[in-house]
């Protein structure tokens, strides 16, 4: 199944994607994670996008589309994928249609207040990218990833100023995709406010998966 995960930052798309990968057995392709890996590796792409990402703005469409086009051409993405964080603009959605057609677009619905609460407490493993939260999902040992032992840190763009910027960018540039995909009959809504297990159930029901 070819799925797009749509929703504001902090809606839990990444956390849900980890669960959905186990259910659907398809790769999780997160443009944000690809950019963060490039930044960590200090590759030319990483150096180009670091300041943009840290400030909460979007990387340009051309760079992002090219990246996704190359990733979706790989063999593991031929029978399905979860695209998390792409498309984020109408031009990205139009470009995607020229090289891959998604079966469904899952819209993770959550109020802004919950988003801010989630993002301000979010911590991420620097090594494997697993998400934690200072209140809702603490690692067993402070600052250490349960999954791989890596260091847990606060993303630069999860700091207050960048969060506000990302929410504004989401409303202006990404939220119009909800109508765009609804009109195409591809959109399914999932209430992303509850705890993870309940969101997983909402997700399965919405997609008719047992
Ligand atoms: P995320 O992990 O999805 O929240 O993405 C983190 C950051 O990476 C975003 O705030 C953007 O700066 C950048 N980014 C990720 N996906 C895209 C995209 N599809 N288009 C432009 N920028 C993106």
Per domain, the residue ranges of the chain are 2-26+79-206
- Among 88, 102, 125, say which to mutate for ligand 1: greatest number of ligand atoms within 8 Å of CB: 88
- Among 4, 13, 35, say which to mutate for ligand 1: greatest number of ligand atoms within 8 Å of CB: 35
**pLDDT score recorded for residue 113:** 86
Centre of ligand 1 to C-alpha 53, Å, is 7
Q: Which residues line ligand 1 (CB under 6 A)?
A: 9, 31-32, 35, 52-53, 56-59, 64, 85-88, 92, 157, 166
What is the rounded CA–CA span in Å between residue 166 and residue 156? 12
> If pLDDT is split at 50, 70 and 90, which confidence band does 112 have?
confident
Whole-model pTM over 0.75: yes
Centre of ligand 1 to C-alpha 26, Å, is 21
The residue-averaged pLDDT of 20-48 equals: 95
- For residue 131, report the phi and psi dihedrals to the nearest 5 degrees: -95, 145
Active site residues: 13, 88, 122, 155, 166
Q: Which class would CATH give 2-26+79-206?
A: alpha beta
Residue of the CA atom closest to atom 5 of ligand 1: 32
What is the rounded CA–CA span in Å between residue 164 and residue 206? 30
> If pLDDT is split at 50, 70 and 90, which confidence band does 117 have?
confident
> If pLDDT is split at 50, 70 and 90, which confidence band does 210 have?
confident
> Is residue 146 pLDDT above 80, yes or no?
yes
Instruction: Summarize pLDDT for 40-97 with one digit per residue, the tens.
Output: 999 999 999 999 999 999 999 999 999 999 999 999 999 999 999 999 999 999 999 9
Share of residues in the chain with pLDDT > 70 (%): 100
Q: Is 98 helix (H, G, I), strand (E, B) or coil?
A: helix
Helix axes 13-24, 196-207, angle to 10 degrees: 60
82 contact partners, CB below 8 Å, separation of at least 6: 3, 5, 17, 20, 21, 24, 26, 27, 28, 29
């Amino acid at each position: 199944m070819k799925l797009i995960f749509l929703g504001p930052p902090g809606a839990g798309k990444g956390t849900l994607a980890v669960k959905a990968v186990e259910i659907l057995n398809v790769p999780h392709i997160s443009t944000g994670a690809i950019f963060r890996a490039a930044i960590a590796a200090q590759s030319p792409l990483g150096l180009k996008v670091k300041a943009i990402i840290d400030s909460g703005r979007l990387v340009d469409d051309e760079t992002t589309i090219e990246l996704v086009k190359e990733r979706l051409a790989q063999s593991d993405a031929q029978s399905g994928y979860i695209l998390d964080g792409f498309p984020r603009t109408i031009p990205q959605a139009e470009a995607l249609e020229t090289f891959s057609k998604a079966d469904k677009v899952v819209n993770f619905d959550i109020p802004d207040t919950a988003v801010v609460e989630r993002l301000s407490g979010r911590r991420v493993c620097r090594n494997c990218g697993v998400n934690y939260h200072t209140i809702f999902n603490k690692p067993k040992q402070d600052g250490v990833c349960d999954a791989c032992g890596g260091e847990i840190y606060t993303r630069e763009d999860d700091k207050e100023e960048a969060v506000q910027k990302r929410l504004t960018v989401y409303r202006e540039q990404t939220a119009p995709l909800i109508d765009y995909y609804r009109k195409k009959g591809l959109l399914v809504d999932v209430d992303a406010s509850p705890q993870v297990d309940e969101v997983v159930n909402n997700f399965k029901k919405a997609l008719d998966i047992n």
